[in-house]
Structure 1
Amino acid sequence: MTRNDAIAHAREQLRSGEFLRELDRRVAYKTESQNAARSDVLRAYLEDELKPAFAALDFDSRVVESPSGKSPFLVASHREDASAPTVLIYGHGDVVDGMVGAWRDGLNPWATTQVGNRVYGRGTADNKGQHSINLAALRAVRQARGGKLGFNAKFIIEMGEEIASPDLGKVCASLRDELKADLLIASDGPRLSADRPTLFLGCRGGYRIHLDVNLREGAHHSGNWGGVLANPATILAGAIATLVDGRGRLLMEQLKPPRLSNQIRQWLADVKVEPTADEPALSENWGEDGLSAAERLYAWNTLEVLAISAGNVDNPANAIPGRARAVLQLRFVVGTRIDDLIEAIRAHLHGHGFPMIEVSGAQRFAASRTDFDSPWIRWAADSIQKTSGKPAAVLPNFGGSLPNDVFSDTLGLPTLWVPHSYPGCSQHAPDEHILLSVTEEALGIMAGLFWDLGEMPRPLGKGH
Structure 2
Amino acid sequence: MTSDATIARVHEYFDTGAFQAELADLVTYRSESQNPAEESRNESHRYLKEAILPRLEAMKFACEIIDNPDPQGGPLLIGERFESDDLSTVLTYGHGDTVLGQEGTWRDGLEPWALVEEGDRLYGRGAADNKSQHLINLAALEAVLSVRGCLGFNIRIVIEMSEEVGSIGLPQVFERFKDRLKADVLIASDGPRLQPDVPTIFMGSRGGITFDLLVKTHEGAHHSGNWGGLLADPAMILAHALASITDRRGQITVQEWRPDSLTDAVRRALKDLPVAGGDGPQVNPDWGEEDLTPAERVFGWNSFAVLAQITGVPDAPLNAISGWARATCQLRFVVGTDPDEVVPALRRHLDAQGFEDVQIILHDRGFFSATRLDPQHPWAEFVGNSIRKTSGGKLHVLPNLAGSLPNDSFTDILGVPTIWVPHSYRGCSQHAPNEHVLKSVCRDALSVMAGLFWDIGALGNRPSELQNLLKPMV
Q: Deviations over 1:280-308 (max 9, x none)?
A: 11123100011111111111001111222
* Aligned residue in 2 for 1:352: 353
Once residues 167 and 205 of structure 2 are traced to their aligned partners in structure 1, the CA distance between those partners, rounded to angstroms, is 15
1:440 aligned to 2:449? no
Once residues 392 and 88 of structure 1 are traced to their aligned partners in structure 2, the CA distance between those partners, rounded to angstroms, is 22
Deviates more, 1:438-447 or 1:231-240: 231-240
Would the aligned equivalents of 2:166 and 2:368 in 1 still touch at CA under 8 Å? Answer: no
- Stretches of structure 1 that go unaligned for 5 or more consecutive residues are none
1:341 aligned to 2:342? yes
* Aligned residue in 2 for 1:197: 199
SS of the residue 2:409 aligns to: helix
Q: Deviations over 1:21-41 (max 9, x none)?
A: 222222222222224213332
* Aligned residue in 2 for 1:302: 303
Once residues 314 and 182 of structure 1 are traced to their aligned partners in structure 2, the CA distance between those partners, rounded to angstroms, is 55
Q: Deviations over 1:35-60 (max 9, x none)?
A: 42133322222222222211222222
Once residues 11 and 435 of structure 1 are traced to their aligned partners in structure 2, the CA distance between those partners, rounded to angstroms, is 15
Match of 2:269 among 267, 283, 289: 267
Deviates more, 1:87-96 or 1:41-50: 41-50
1:158 aligned to 2:160? yes
One-letter code of the match for 2:471?
K
* Aligned residue in 2 for 1:75: 78
1:55 aligned to 2:57? yes
* Aligned residue in 2 for 1:425: 428
Once residues 189 and 257 of structure 2 are traced to their aligned partners in structure 1, the CA distance between those partners, rounded to angstroms, is 30
Larger helix proportion of the pair: 2
* Aligned residue in 1 for 2:130: 127
* Aligned residue in 2 for 1:41: 43
Once residues 103 and 228 of structure 1 are traced to their aligned partners in structure 2, the CA distance between those partners, rounded to angstroms, is 45
One-letter code of the match for 1:329?
Q
Query: Cα RMSD (Å) of the superposition?
Result: 1.9
Q: 1:101: how far off?
A: 4.1
The number of equivalent residue pairs is 462
- Stretches of structure 2 that go unaligned for 5 or more consecutive residues are none
* Aligned residue in 2 for 1:451: 454
Q: 1:439: how far off?
A: 0.7
Once residues 270 and 197 of structure 2 are traced to their aligned partners in structure 1, the CA distance between those partners, rounded to angstroms, is 17
SS of the residue 1:369 aligns to: coil
* Aligned residue in 2 for 1:97: 100
* Aligned residue in 2 for 1:25: 25
Q: 1:108: how far off?
A: 4.3
* Aligned residue in 2 for 1:461: 470
Q: Deviations over 1:225-262 (max 9, x none)?
A: 44444322222222222211111111111111115101
One-letter code of the match for 1:336?
T
Would the aligned equivalents of 2:261 and 2:335 in 1 still touch at CA under 8 Å? Answer: no
Once residues 58 and 67 of structure 1 are traced to their aligned partners in structure 2, the CA distance between those partners, rounded to angstroms, is 27
SS of the residue 2:155 aligns to: strand
**Superposed counterparts of 1:160-175, under 5 Å:** 160-175=162-177
Q: 1:374: how far off?
A: 1.7
Residues 142 and 269 of structure 1, relative CA distance in 2, 3 Å threshold:
same
Once residues 236 and 390 of structure 2 are traced to their aligned partners in structure 1, the CA distance between those partners, rounded to angstroms, is 56
One-letter code of the match for 2:446?
L
Once residues 170 and 98 of structure 1 are traced to their aligned partners in structure 2, the CA distance between those partners, rounded to angstroms, is 28
Q: 1:275: how far off?
A: 3.6
Match of 1:393 among 383, 392, 396: 396
Would the aligned equivalents of 1:369 and 1:408 in 2 still touch at CA under 8 Å? Answer: no
Once residues 210 and 347 of structure 1 are traced to their aligned partners in structure 2, the CA distance between those partners, rounded to angstroms, is 16
Match of 2:220 among 202, 218, 221: 218
Once residues 325 and 100 of structure 1 are traced to their aligned partners in structure 2, the CA distance between those partners, rounded to angstroms, is 26
Deviates more, 1:25-34 or 1:294-303: 25-34
* Aligned residue in 1 for 2:10: 10
Q: 1:153: how far off?
A: 0.6
Would the aligned equivalents of 2:115 and 2:124 in 1 still touch at CA under 8 Å? Answer: yes
Q: Deviations over 1:256-278 (max 9, x none)?
A: 1115101111111121112425x
Residues 428 and 263 of structure 1, relative CA distance in 2, 3 Å threshold:
same
Q: Deviations over 1:111-168 (max 9, x none)?
A: 32222111222222111111110011011111221x1111111111112222221111
1:371 aligned to 2:380? no
Residues 211 and 40 of structure 1, relative CA distance in 2, 3 Å threshold:
closer
Would the aligned equivalents of 1:310 and 1:323 in 2 still touch at CA under 8 Å? Answer: yes
TM-score, normalised with respect to structure 1 = 0.94
